[in-house]
Amino acid sequence: MENEAGALSRVAGLFSARGYNIESLTVAPTEDPSLSRMTLVTRGTEEIIEQITKQLHKLIDVVKLMDMTDGPHIEREMLLVKLHAEGDRREELKRLADIFRGRIIDVSDRTYTVELTGDGAKLDAFLQVLEPGAIIEVVRSGVSGIARGDRSLKL
């Protein structure tokens, strides 16, 4: 998308005006400062996805659009989670974080903050194995995506 004021709100406005659902949305500038890249996750029948694609194309800020699910692709999302970590729990939480290849990035005498990256399902799985009551706060970045192999979204 053009990296301009209002571009994000045009996309968000389109989804709300036409009753489409945004599951997650991430946006940041690219190596070309005039362009931003947005990864948006939505859900719908083939017809709805086709309409969403066409309507997005019509937005003048949208420079290029690619449906990642048309081919093999990689999805990544980052999770930051702050956990109660006291007494015996500290060791257990450290082990769980290791199993999921998470990293403990902040420690206090009562808490751990864990950083974990992966697809949405992996992050869900991690949150599920934590014992109830362990979680103080969860931050998820939303999904970023990139195509596998030679396929790329580039001008």
Partner 1 sequence: MTSGELLVELTGAEIFVRALQAEGVEYIFGYPGGAVLHIYDALYNQDKVKHVLVRHEQAATHAADGYARSTGRPGVVIVTSGPGATNAVTGIATAYMDSIPMVVFTGQVPTHLIGNDAFQEADNIGITRPCVKHDFLVKDVNNLAETIKKAFYVATTGRPGPVVVDIPKDVTAEKAEFSYPDRVSMRSYNPVHVGHAGQIKRAVKLMLGAKRPMLYTGGGVILGNASAALTRLARELNFPVTNTLMGLGAYPATDPQFVGMLGMHGTYEANMAMHHCDVLIAVGARFDDRVTGNIEKFCPNARIVHIDIDPASISKNVKVDVPIVGCVDNVLRVMLSTIADTERRPDAAALEEWWRQIDEWRAKDCLRFDRDSELIKPQYVVEKLYEVTQGDAYVTSDVGQHQMWAAQYYKFDKPRRWINSGGLGTMGFGLPAAMGVQFAHPDATVACVTGEGSIQMCIQELSTCLQYRLPIKVVNLNNRYLGMVRQWQEFFYQKRYAMSYMESLPDFVKLAESYGHVGMQIEKPADVEGALREAMQLKDRLVFMNFMTDQTENVYPMIPAGGGQNEMILI
**Pick from 10, 73, 84, 94: which binds partner 1 (CB under 8 A)?**
10
Q: Are 19 and 52 in contact (CB under 8 A)?
A: no
Binding part of the chain for partner 1, among 22-30, 49-57, 95-103, 112-120 by CB under 8 A, reads 49-57
Q: How far apart are CA 68 and CA 134, in angstroms?
A: 35
Q: What are phi and psi of 140, to 5 degrees?
A: -120, 140
**Pick from 31, 45, 58, 109: which binds partner 1 (CB under 8 A)?**
58
Binding part of the chain for partner 1, among 48-56, 66-74, 83-91, 136-144 by CB under 8 A, reads 48-56
* Helix, coil or strand: residue 38: strand
| CA atoms in the 13 A half-sphere facing the CB of 111 | 12
Closest approach, Cβ 100 to partner 1, in A, equals 40
Q: Are 95 and 48 in contact (CB under 8 A)?
A: no
Q: Is 63 in the site for partner 1 (CB under 8 A)?
A: yes
Task: Point out which residues bind partner 1 (CB under 8 A).
Answer: 1-2, 5-6, 9-10, 13, 17, 47, 50-51, 54-55, 57-58, 60-64, 155
